[in-house]
């Protein structure tokens, strides 16, 4: 059974020039604990897809299922990470990571929240930077912190929209490695939107190619390395 099931999703935006069909009969299934990498040219509807999974929008036709439930409204059980991390400058790195816990688990004791955030920051190599402000960190470090914030409350799904797109090639490859380490310690299901093909095969358990106008699931490749 899949944790994410996208069934026959079709969507058009209403524009002053009439409907703009964006997605056509999309079919995507992501088993629990797997990473799906979605690649496609810019403008093909990748961000639209993330908004649908997060419940921020409803498709014209078709269904999005998460954990056996039809997605009808925005959910707390979806974590999001974007190309430009939106960290709050007036909070320390630690307090930025803690934020989703304050919202989703208000009854969790303060010390426990802190412990959880510190544990994740350690996994991504940010121990020692807990008390810094976001602007005191490099871009790569801010992206690490924002990944921690996206998964701190153990969402069912992590959606990443071009999370490493703004980083230089070396920093990006460091982050790929970090993602693997993070997944080994902290299993989660993820949809990664990228236009970097190398990234998609390095991080994805499956690579889903979107193309066409409106875009459809052209091709789905299972990525299995020898020994897996
Ligand atoms: P991608 O993330 O692959 O670049 P998007 O999902 O952002 O693609 O956009 C797909 C298409 O839909 C583009 O042509 C874009 O201009 C259009 N689009 C996106 N959002 C809206 C909107 N709110 N209203 C109208 N058109 C939109
Ligand atoms: P990363 O690969 O972790 O994103 P960068 O390549 O951007 O990091 O930066 C290289 C290294 O520089 C970091 O791993 C970190 O050790 C150090 N560094 C960056 N910003 C700071 C800072 N504000 N204070 C201390 N060290 C920093």
Please give the Cα distance from 90 to 33 (Å, whole number): 34
Pocket test for ligand 1, best of 38, 46, 48, 192 (most atoms within 8 A of CB): 48
Q: How far is CA 8 from CA 19, 48, 161, 198, in A?
A: 18, 15, 22, 28
Please give the Cα distance from 146 to 137 (Å, whole number): 12
What residues does ligand 1 touch, defined as CB less than 6 Å away? 13, 15, 20, 22, 40, 42-48
Q: Are 33 and 10 in contact (CB under 8 A)?
A: no
141 lines ligand 2 (CB under 6 A): yes
What spacing in Å lies between the alpha carbon of 116 and ligand 1's midpoint? 36
What spacing in Å lies between the alpha carbon of 85 and ligand 2's midpoint? 16
Query: ∠ CA(199), CA(201), CA(202), 5° rounding?
Result: 60
Please give the Cα distance from 49 to 61 (Å, whole number): 13
Q: What global pTM score does this model have? A: 0.84
Q: Are 207 and 39 in contact (CB under 8 A)?
A: yes
Return the ligand 1 atom nearest residue 14 CA. Answer: 25
How many Cβ atoms are within 10 Å of 49's Cβ, its own excluded? 29
ipTM confidence score: 0.68
Q: How far is CA 221 from CA 36, 66, 224, in A?
A: 10, 22, 9
DSSP 3-state of 104: helix
Residue ID of nearest Cα to ligand 1 atom 4 = 43
Q: Are 44 and 210 in contact (CB under 8 A)?
A: yes
Residue-by-residue pLDDT tens, the chain, 228 positions: 899 999 999 999 999 999 999 999 999 999 999 999 999 888 889 989 999 998 999 999 999 999 888 988 877 788 888 888 889 999 999 999 999 999 999 999 999 999 999 999 999 999 999 999 999 999 999 999 999 999 999 988 999 999 999 999 999 999 999 999 999 998 889 999 998 999 999 999 999 999 888 998 878 888 887 776
How many Cβ atoms are within 10 Å of 180's Cβ, its own excluded? 12
């Amino acid at each position: 059974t899949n944790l994410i099931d996208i069934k026959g999703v079709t969507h058009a935006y209403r524009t002053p020039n009439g409907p703009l069909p964006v997605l056509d009969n999309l079919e995507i299934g992501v088993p629990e604990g797997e990473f799906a990498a979605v690649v496609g040219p810019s403008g093909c509807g990748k961000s639209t897809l993330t908004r649908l999974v997060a419940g921020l929008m409803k498709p014209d036709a078709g269904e999005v299922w998460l954990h056996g439930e039809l997605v009808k409204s925005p959910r707390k059980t979806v974590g999001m990470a974007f190309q430009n991390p939106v960290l709050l400058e007036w909070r320390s790195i630690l307090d930025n990571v803690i934020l989703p816990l304050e919202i989703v688990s208000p009854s969790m004791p303060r010390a426990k929240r802190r412990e959880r955030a510190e544990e994740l920051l350690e996994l991504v190599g940010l121990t020692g930077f807990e008390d810094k402000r976001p602007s005191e960190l490099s871009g790569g470090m801010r992206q690490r912190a924002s990944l921690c914030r996206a998964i701190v409350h153990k969402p069912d799904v992590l959606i990443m929209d071009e999370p490493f797109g703004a980083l230089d090639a070396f920093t990006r490859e460091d982050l790929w490695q970090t993602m693997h380490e993070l997944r080994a310690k902290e299993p989660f299901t993820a949809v990664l939107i990228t236009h970097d093909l190398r990234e998609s095969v390095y991080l994805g358990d499956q690579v889903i190619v979107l193309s066409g106008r409106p875009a459809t699931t052209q091709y789905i490749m299972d990525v299995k390395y020898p020994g897996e």
